[in-house]
Amino acid sequence: MKNILSALTLSLLLGTAMSANAAAPKAKAPQAVTASAVAKGPAAGDWRVPDPENVVVIDTTKGRIIVELSPELAPNHVVRFKELTREGFYNGLKFHRVINEFMAQTGDPKGTGEGGSTKPDVVAEFTYRRGPQSPFTPISQPIGIQSGFVGAVPVMTQIDDLMAMTADGKVHAWGQFCPGVLGAARGENPDSANSQFFLMRQAFPSLDKRYTAYGQTLSGLDIVRAIKTGEPVVDPDTMTKVQMLADMPASERPSIKVLDVRSGYFKAMVETLRAKKGADFSACDIDLPVEVR
């Protein structure tokens, strides 16, 4: 049964404590940014343009959602998502299971939570191996662990010092299920992901390392949260058209830029937010600036 999260118990719904520091050795140190500069907004050099091959545009009956896929975290899930998108598989499918303060699930051609594509199931990618050259921008280091970002996706990881103690010189890392994160639906079998996916409406750390995270909503989180709720949903919202940004005609393709987490502005923004939130601060509190035109 592909009704995602069916294996979770009530204890998981209560959540667990959210807990990920060094950028790649060749990364340039960001220039200092003052609090006053943060108030003014990012400068031209603080932005990056996401790879259109890893950006999906989801038009729905509620509006447009733009998601950046993360091959670094879960390459096989990204490949599957692109394949199905380019085949037109997702066009017209319903958001069949939507829970307020949790997530919106879709991708089932049956609309029941029990369907999928004709392709083989995808093996779980709950964690991945992060090496010294892997992209990662740290924001905090609780005891024995680091929190940070890979592109737009919030990530937790074992500390760099442990790399010297592992056979492959790498450590475990995993995506955090913060608002807007894209996750793979599955049944009780960890390796049963296929076509169904969900978008987080709120943070839900109990999913970390139990489900595969493989993208982040850049634009349209308000749309994700506006999708009609239900289990099942009565008269559900649908995905009218799903396209890879790279495949869209130039005349229709939105121009997208997102704050670069390697920038000085991002570092200052994090420090400003950390001072405001105090001990409650986490990566899920960070809302990356995005411009879509």
**CATH architecture for segment(s) 10-292:** Beta Barrel (2.40)
Per DSSP, the three-state class of 139 is strand
Note whether 81 and 125 are within 8 A (CB): no
* Contact partners, residue 58, CB within 8 Å, separation at least 6: 64, 65, 66, 67, 90, 220, 239, 241, 242
Q: Is the pLDDT of residue 21 over 50?
A: no
Q: Is the pLDDT of residue 197 over 70?
A: yes
What is the per-residue pLDDT across 205-226, written as a single tens digit (0 to 9) for each? 999 999 999 999 999 999 999 9
| Structure-token match 């609309």, residue found | 111
Average pLDDT estimate for 240-267? 97
CA distances in angstroms from 75 to 65, 177, 200, listed in the order given: 21, 17, 20
Please give the torsion angle defined by the CA atoms of residues 69, 285, 5 and 207, in that order, rounded to the nearest 10 degrees.
Answer: 90
Half-sphere exposure of 185 (CA within 13 A, CB side): 28
Q: Is the pLDDT of residue 1 over 50?
A: no
* Contact partners, residue 207, CB within 8 Å, separation at least 6: 5, 12, 177, 183, 213
The model's confidence at residue 194, banded by pLDDT at 50, 70 and 90, is very high
Q: Is the pLDDT of residue 5 over 90?
A: no
The model's confidence at residue 2, banded by pLDDT at 50, 70 and 90, is low
Q: Is the pLDDT of residue 144 over 90?
A: no
Closest to 179 (Cα-Cα) out of 228, 145, 220: 220
Q: Is the pLDDT of residue 30 over 80?
A: no
Note whether 206 and 8 are within 8 A (CB): yes
What is the per-residue pLDDT across 276-287, written as a single tens digit (0 to 9) for each? 999 889 999 999
**Residue 143 pLDDT:** 81
Describe the strand order of the beta sheet including 137-140 as a list of residue ranges: 128-130, 171-175, 153-158, 145-150, 137-140
What's the pTM?
0.88
Each domain of the chain, given as residue ranges in start order, spans 10-292
Q: Please, what's the b/e burial string for 208-221 (b: 16 or more CB within 10 A of its CB; e: otherwise)?
A: bbbbbbbbbbbbbb
**Residue 16 pLDDT:** 36
**Mean pLDDT lowest for which of 95-99, 229-233, 255-259, 276-280?**
276-280
**Residue 158 pLDDT:** 97
